[in-house]
Amino acid sequence: MLRYVIKRILLLIPVLLGISFFVFMVLHLFTTDPAALMLGQHATNEQVAALREELGLNDPVWVQFFRFLSDLVQGDFGRSLMTRAPVLDEIFSRFPATVELALAAIFIAAIVGITVGVVSAVKQYSVFDYFSMIGALLGVSMPIFWLGLMMIVLFSLKLHWLPVSGRIDIGMEPVHITGLYIMDSILTRDWESLKSALLHIIMPATALASYSMAIIARMTRSTMLEVIRQDYIRTARAKGLKETVVTYRHALRNALIPVITVIGLQMGVLMGGAVLTETVFSWPGIGSRLVDAILASDYPMVQGSIIFIATVFVVVNLVVDLLYAWLDPRIKYS
Amino acid sequence: MDNLLLNVEDLKTHFFLDDGVVPAVDGVSFHLRKGETLAVVGESGSGKSITSLSIMRLVPAPPGRIVGGRITFAGEDLLAKSEKEMRDVRGNRISMIFQEPMTSLNPVYRVGDQIAESLVLHKRMKKKEALEQAVEMLRLTGIPSPEKRVRDFPHQMSGGMRQRVMIAMALCCQPELLIADEPTTALDVTIQAQILELMQELQRQMNTSIILITHDLAVVAEVADRAVVMYCGKVVEEAPVAELFENPLHPYTRGLLNSIPRLDENVDRLFMIDGVVPNMLRLPPGCAFAPRCPEAREHCRETAPRLTRVAPGRLVSCLLVEGGAA
Ligand SMILES: Nc1ncnc2c1ncn2[C@@H]1O[C@H](COP(=O)(O)OP(=O)(O)OP(=O)(O)O)[C@@H](O)[C@H]1O
Ligand SMILES: [Mg+2]
């Protein structure tokens, strides 16, 4: 198992190299001159040319790429053109918000999706089954930003149940431990902050979760239906086990194996969805920062954010694969 | 019969499908004594498995349902039991082994845990104690180094080994009745013989009664005391095994006996009675076997025969047998 883990980690290196290369090239080919951007509209051509020379923008592309890469390896993502702060610092200050949102979303998506899927399968063709599968169809086809706006209109503007935007009420931020407000407020037993954080996160997390929730519910339902017809389920019943034990101990554990993969893949979808969700709900994460950076042509920030998000995505997938290997003993660690 | 263990009377289990009702089991009666081995034979689709699932009250529902009859087990009416009461019977007093050892064990749990689960459930054992007992059961079924194999997952074992695990699981609570639904069909011939021997050996040790479902008459000859022959959801003949082989009364039984395969033949093509099993949705009005029966007369196609006692311990359902008239 350990050898398998090490092998998988080593395999990350070429993947990350590829990602960096791709992001670098795309931005290199399609962005306006960063030197001109940095100097603003009133700069003279000479000034721009001097800065280009200084930044090494006149070197061959591959030289620039390797310089960029060696900086990356040393943790130097460059500086934001907008704020002049190191890109990595910006990312790290924004990252906990995105993680918190994505975790909340995947938590909601997994819990609700799996529960709905199991009940739909066990009560196949029931009213519950029909309604939940119609709901799943809606969840898959509804654009996040539209759903998010509708939720804001209903729950914030009409009913006044939930705050329109932001992560927490101003001044309520809990003591910084992990950077995840929910976690930190629980750790410091700061229940007021916890309440505020939960009220803020519930809408964006649900909006972000909707698509994944629907996918997970459908996947769970179909694999459960598949598993319930297996011979070993008949064996479990013939043992005299209760139907709930048969469903949860014997069927669900098997049905979860493919569902876990789907949940892992959804983590990637969530990362993408987070960009939109964060924008709709003014959630102060990497996604909304990325959008700001794109609008301002802040290319080091765009580059850094994308590479960072892609890295997280790849690492999450690795963790999911390892989890999968642990859940399904038939998978060989080689 | 004071040592009667199981009595099935006029059992009817039907499947209610969109295009009609399949009478998978239609008026089946037989009995079983303590310590006895009863074989149930018949072609594919004759209702053998559904009969045994009916006894366990595990008929897939919907579409299946037990619509009539009585099943008495150790003096208790199984069909009157609640689902909760049935759970105390299943795996504890009546156990089942299935045809497909490769898929009948849960792939994500260790075999030891799967055996122990029954013991924890029915014998209220602690997990540790149950695992020790699981090792003993595996030892009893002749699995080498059982203290290691309990920690195996099913995919690490061969088909024969897995069937031994199934047997260990079925017998760990010392059931009064073991229903073995084609326990050896999926295994190769030498393993088949070992598994049958093992079942007989454990039967002697535990005084278990066995219902052995098979379409292999060679197996019947070897291990069973009595046999019930089924066709299209009905019992067509019942007899002590020796007499059945010596003097089969029903033309269908004779057909089966004539088609016992030689060793060099493909095992899948066991029966070579002419014609095919009729569509269960549209059974002929008379004897269901008449369309394929070489001896059928005109009235066989019109009148359904009834299972009738023609000699002590011998029952047959055929209009052509003397005394077997409807
Ligand atoms: N789930 C089901 N739905 C509909 N019909 C069924 C179902 N299960 C069984 N049947 C019907 O019941 C009849 C008897 O099936 P059963 O499985 O008892 O046959 P069998 O004698 O065990 O055959 P085999 O030797 O192939 O195992 C079959 O003709 C089949 O059409
Ligand atoms: Mg069968």
pLDDT in tens, A178-190: 888 888 888 888 8
Task: Give A-chain residues touching B58 at CB under 8 angstroms.
Answer: 234, 237-238
pTM: 0.77
- Is residue B172 within 8 A of residue B120, CB to CB? The reply is no
Q: Does some domain include residue B42? A: yes
- Burial of residue A143, with CB atoms counted within 10 A of its CB: 0-12 exposed, 13-18 middle, 19 or more buried: exposed
Residue A235 and residue B107: Cβ atoms within 8 Å? no
Residue B271 predicted with pLDDT over 80? no
Which ligand 1 atom sits closest to the C-alpha of B230?
Answer: 21
Give the pLDDT confidence score for residue A8 in this predicted structure.
Answer: 84
pLDDT digits (tens, 9 = 90+) for A185-214: 888 888 988 999 899 999 999 999 999 999
Q: Does some domain include residue A104? A: yes
Question: Distance, CA B292 to ligand 2 centroid (Å)?
Answer: 22
Q: B153 with B124, same domain?
A: yes
The rounded percent of chain A whose pLDDT value lies above 90 is: 28
- Residue B20: CB within 6 Å of ligand 1? no
Single out the residue in B139, B172, B205 at which a domain terminates: B172
Give the pLDDT confidence score for residue A179 in this predicted structure.
Answer: 84
Q: B181 with B261, same domain?
A: yes
Closest residue in B to A235 (Cα–Cα): B104
Task: Give the pLDDT band of residue B87 (cuts 50, 70, 90).
Answer: very high
Single out the residue in B172, B187, B215 at which a domain terminates: B172
pLDDT digits (tens, 9 = 90+) for A303-329: 888 888 888 888 887 887 787 777 777
Q: B159 with B180, same domain?
A: no
Judging by DSSP bridges, how do beta strands B76-77 and B314-316 pair with one another?
unpaired
Give the pLDDT confidence score for residue A165 in this predicted structure.
Answer: 84
Q: What is the mean pLDDT of residues B102-117?
A: 91
Q: B46 with B64, same domain?
A: yes
Task: Give the pLDDT band of residue B263 (cuts 50, 70, 90).
Answer: low
Closest residue in A to B106 (Cα–Cα): A232
Count of domains observed in chain A = 1
Pull the structure tokens for residue B243.
């007499």
Cα separation, B136 vs B146, in Å, equals: 8
Q: Rounded to a whole number, what is the distance in Å from the CA of B149 to chain A's nearest CA?
A: 15
- Is residue B30 within 8 A of residue B238, CB to CB? The reply is yes
Q: What is the CA radius of gyration of chain B?
A: 20
- Residues in a beta bridge with B97: B180
pLDDT digits (tens, 9 = 90+) for B114-165: 999 999 999 888 999 999 989 988 888 888 888 999 899 998 988 888 888 9
Please tell me whether the peptide bond between B284 and the residue prior to it is cis, using omega within 30 degrees of 0.
Answer: no
Higher pLDDT, B93 or B261: B93
Q: B223 with B125, same domain?
A: no
Q: Does some domain include residue B61? A: yes
Residue B117 and residue A330: Cβ atoms within 8 Å? no
Q: B149 with B181, same domain?
A: no
CA distances from A311 to A6, A14, A68, A75, A316 (A): 17, 12, 16, 13, 8
Give the pLDDT confidence score for residue B324 in this predicted structure.
Answer: 47
Q: Does some domain include residue A234? A: yes
ipTM of the complex: 0.85
Give the pLDDT confidence score for residue B1 in this predicted structure.
Answer: 58
Q: What is the mean pLDDT of residues A244-260?
A: 90
Give the pLDDT confidence score for residue B54 in this predicted structure.
Answer: 95
Cα separation, A311 vs A291, in Å, equals: 18
Q: B237 with B304, same domain?
A: yes
- Is residue B94 within 8 A of residue B170, CB to CB? The reply is no
Residue A271 predicted with pLDDT over 80? no
Residue B106 and residue A250: Cβ atoms within 8 Å? yes
Pull the structure tokens for residue B88.
């105390």
Q: Does some domain include residue B286? A: yes
Give the pLDDT confidence score for residue A333 in this predicted structure.
Answer: 54
CATH of the domain at B222: 3.40.50.300
pLDDT mean across residues, chain A: 86
Q: B293 with B196, same domain?
A: yes
Closest residue in B to A125 (Cα–Cα): B62
Single out the residue in B122, B143, B172 at which a domain terminates: B172
- Residue B11: CB within 6 Å of ligand 1? no
Q: For the ranges A237-241, B153-157, B262-266, which has the lowest average pLDDT?
A: B262-266
A250 in reach of chain B (CB within 8 A): yes
Q: Does some domain include residue A6? A: no
Q: Does some domain include residue A163? A: yes
Residue A240 and residue B91: Cβ atoms within 8 Å? yes
User: In the block, which residue shows the tokens 């008459």?
Assistant: B217
Size of interface A-B (CB pairs under 8 A): 66
Q: Does some domain include residue B321? A: no
pLDDT digits (tens, 9 = 90+) for A108-154: 999 999 999 999 998 888 899 999 999 888 888 888 888 888 999 99
Closest residue in A to B62 (Cα–Cα): A124
Q: B187 with B71, same domain?
A: yes
Give the pLDDT confidence score for residue B325 in this predicted structure.
Answer: 47
| Cα distance between the two ends of chain B | 27
Q: B104 with B71, same domain?
A: no
Q: Best of B14, B18, B19, B50 to mutate for ligand 1, by most ligand atoms within 8 A of CB?
A: B50
Residue A299 predicted with pLDDT over 90? no
A229 in reach of chain B (CB within 8 A): no
Task: Give the pLDDT band of residue B67 (cuts 50, 70, 90).
Answer: very high
A158 in reach of chain B (CB within 8 A): no
Q: For the ranges A2-6, A268-272, B239-243, which has the lowest average pLDDT?
A: A268-272
Count of domains observed in chain B = 2
Task: Give the pLDDT band of residue B264 (cuts 50, 70, 90).
Answer: low
Q: Does some domain include residue A333? A: no
Task: Give B-chain residues touching A242 at CB under 8 angstroms.
Answer: 87
Least CB-CB distance to B58: which of A237, A242, A253? A237
Residue B228 predicted with pLDDT over 60? yes
Q: B17 with B143, same domain?
A: no
The residue range of the domain holding B118 is 94-172
Name the B residues in 160-189 with CB < 8 Å from any A CB: 166, 169
Q: Does some domain include residue A31? A: no
Q: B201 with B235, same domain?
A: yes
Q: Does some domain include residue A262? A: yes
- Residue B44: CB within 6 Å of ligand 1? yes
Give the pLDDT confidence score for residue A33 in this predicted structure.
Answer: 72
The residue range of the domain holding A269 is 97-327
CATH of the domain at A303: 1.10.3720.10
- Short-list A28, A90, A51, CA closest to A285: A90
Q: What is the mean pLDDT of residues A6-27?
A: 87
Q: Does some domain include residue A291? A: yes
Give the pLDDT confidence score for residue B41 in this predicted structure.
Answer: 92
B122 in reach of chain A (CB within 8 A): yes
Q: Rounded to a whole number, what is the distance in Å from the CA of B95 to chain A's nearest CA?
A: 7
Residue A77 predicted with pLDDT over 50? yes
Q: For the ranges A11-25, A253-267, B64-78, B252-266, which has the lowest average pLDDT?
A: B252-266
Give the pLDDT confidence score for residue B72 in this predicted structure.
Answer: 93
- Residue B279: CB within 6 Å of ligand 1? no
Q: Does some domain include residue B323? A: no
Give the pLDDT confidence score for residue A66 in this predicted structure.
Answer: 87
Cα atoms in the 13 Å half-sphere on the side-chain side of B182: 19
Q: What is the mean pLDDT of residues A41-67?
A: 80
